[in-house]
Structure 1
């Protein structure tokens, strides 16, 4: 088995690491049938083909009167058409029907004039502005939005409120969606304690990474099947990771993949599978590993909280979206104008925590936060974006356009 740790000073650039991950990404997880009411933020697994037209029938787009628009200006009202209660007769020339928005257009009518543009006197009505009337106006025609046989949504579509509203309009009570990927998350180190556990030594720390990584993955649609702390013992780590590989579609650890003597995740992983890619030319996030544990994709993220979340966004997210079945996912990036000089290091991607704002003219500007330490978790919730300083640049001047990644609801 090849050992990617043999060349310890080699760093993969970000594109190389992403290419390795894409090449090893499994097919999406299985399918399940869920009620429409439970399908929000799920990923559609089969094409949605319309078996009904939308609108279902030709209807009025306004409250007013419906008639045959052939040059007449005066009409006799012969009935009314309401949404859910159509007019059953045939409207003859010179006759009109009062109609509400969404009501089926009666037979014999082809034009609707809104109520504000008519003058009524008993059962007689007259057009207030006849020169402004166009035959066929204010009509919603059956099938003008969706025709029978139209492919409404492709597999891999994220089902948000608008998509679910369309599915309901087409009569779908249940939808076939991809299952939520099951994820196991571990933090590593004898110094770690779960939140709420007895803090029995001055050298112990409460584990932040399991909570923050799990919260982020849940937002993306994961089912978290396991969170735990791996002790600094090889046999225990091997046993827990082996158990996780039987329950999860994806395994994530934080800490334990650098060159320290007590960093045992690499050794445990290599007993159960293989780490194929290690260390990436990115700050924060250099000591990151990717491979598999008994055929389950595995990510070893850095132990520092900020580095763990940023590597989750940059490298775990693309694989997770594919596991979820979201075929057309792509990261969101904008351009913004630097408000101050930026410094990095040529040869690596620097991701700086920053804050962008949009001025009255719609120009996006961005400033970098002062504190950039990868242990400062507060710098992520104080930020609203990551500023990209690419590997080709060591610095950039004030006023330079730079690429930013808006954090939005990701973190």
Structure 2
């Protein structure tokens, strides 16, 4: 099932902006509409495939918000103390069938249903008790301390929309209207592998010219953070036949394929060649740093994303390119990225004509003003920078010099993977 049309992009040597790339992506990508019914206690991080409509009022009856006494407001003397007869005691969950009449009052505890005939609850601290009589102080208003029926949720209200990714508070809200099972989109099955003769699995002996594979671990955990089901196909050597065979197998088992490395124009970059010959490669030559090369296409009728080989580039292009693709395929109507305007505490030169993402750390000056510091080593292979910083700042295409003290857009890592 191809979810990305073959003519989404035609390969063009001219770079396109990130905004243009994401705009086309949003128009072309469609949700894989496979759904399932699951139990509510398994719903964390899942994406709703149907609106949730309440079939009850919440609360289902008027109840008290405090421990106190329930009575008729019309019995209250507005200028002096009022004495009423105590006729009952009501706890949460108790069915109290007696109607409160004129001159009567009932002891009531938080969450208990307000009895018929009563319309106000006074806090126990504002009363005095004498035998079976309760003395009320004046000054309370009618309806005080009562949670009204349907005050939180009214019957027939849509409480959560289709396409929402469920958080703990969303699940609690669904539980409050008595729903035990919900309809969700199936988890997106993503097949991943990394390419390169130089890559070795952590825990194995590495050659003198080799390095350990960190990209696959980054990619796998990013995908699992957003609740994808990940199939890890390991490290693939730079071998055209092996890569073709691997892609063909993965296409049968997965909804989406993501690879890292092998997407450039070098003689050993076979992933790109296999995609072009057996599918449709709509190559994104995007004007961003770090990040090139990034590819989007189809292989054996399945959508494909090819990320760069440098570790920092992998994470940033995942956040900026792969994530919106995955959200759309998953049915997640993701909110707009939250960003904050902060003050730069450094100077920085950049080239015009490309968007640049800098890794930065947050600090506060003596006046409590939030400022950001640039990580000193901006290389796309320095993954320490992703661990020792708090997020990214986005330098616009036309900007050539960021001056200390300038206001700039900052996106915390914690706000990206929602």
Report TM bin, short chain.
Answer: over 0.9
Moved more, 154-163 or 311-320: 154-163
Which residue is equivalent to 1:330? 336
Q: 1:362 to 1:113 in 2, by over 3 A?
A: farther
Residue 22 (structure 1) shift = 2.1
Aligned to 2:158: 151
Q: Could you list the structure 1 runs, at least 4 aligned residues long, displaced by more than 4 angstroms after superposition.
A: 1-8, 358-363
Distance 1:20 1:110 in 2: 58
Give the counterpart of 2:62 among 46, 51, 58. 58
**Partners of 1:6 and 1:408 in 2: how far apart?**
34
Aligned to 2:21: 17
Alignment deviations for residues 369-404 of structure 1 (CA, whole Å, 9 cap, x no partner): 101111111110101111111111111211111111
Deviation at 1:300, TM superposition (A): 1.0
- Single out whichever of 52-61 and 24-33 deviates more from structure 2: 24-33
- Counting matched residue pairs gives 407
Q: Is the CA contact 2:12–2:285 (under 8 Å) kept in the aligned structure 1?
A: no
Distance 2:313 2:347 in 1: 23
Cα deviation for residue 225 of structure 1 reads 1.8
Q: Name the Cα RMSD after superposition.
A: 2.0
TM-score using structure 1 length: 0.94
TM-score by length of 2: 0.93
Match for residue 276 of structure 2 among 270, 273, 276 = 270
State how far apart, in whole Å, the 2-side matches of 1:304 and 1:319 are. Answer: 21
Residues 28-67 of structure 1 mapped to structure 2, 5 A cutoff:
28-67=32-71
Instruction: Name the SS of the counterpart of 1:216 in structure 2.
Output: helix
Conservation of the 8 A alpha-carbon contact between 1:13 and 1:280: yes
Aligned with 1:70 (options 61, 74, 80): 74
Matched, 1:222 2:243: no
Q: Distance in 2 between matches of 1:123 and 1:3?
A: 80
Partner Cα separation in structure 1 for residue 46 and residue 188 of structure 2:
11
Summarize the alignment of residues 97-176 of structure 1 with structure 2, pairs less than 5 Å apart.
97-127=106-136, 129-130=137-138, 132-176=139-183
Instruction: Indicate the SS of the match to 2:26.
Output: helix
Separation in 2, partners of 1:397, 1:34: 52
- Give the distance between the partners of 2:126 and 2:8, measured in 1 at CA: 81
Cα 1:24–1:245 shift into 2, 3 Å: farther
Kept in 2, the 8 Å contact 1:219–1:410? The answer is no
Q: Aligned with 1:330: secondary structure? A: coil
Q: How many angstroms apart in 2 are the aligned matches of 1:159 and 1:60?
A: 30
Aligned-pair CA distance for 1:294: 2.2
* Mapped partners of 2:328, 2:406: distance in 1: 34
Could you say if the C-alpha distance between residues 53 and 7 of structure 1 is closer, same or farther in structure 2, counting changes exceeding 3 Å?
Answer: closer
Instruction: State the 1:159 CA deviation.
Output: 1.1
Q: How far apart, in 2, do the equivalents of 1:62 and 1:5 lie?
A: 66
Give the superposition deviation at 1:410. Answer: 5.3
1:197 Cα deviation after fit: 2.8
Query: Which ranges of structure 1 fall in alignment gaps of 5 or more residues?
Result: none
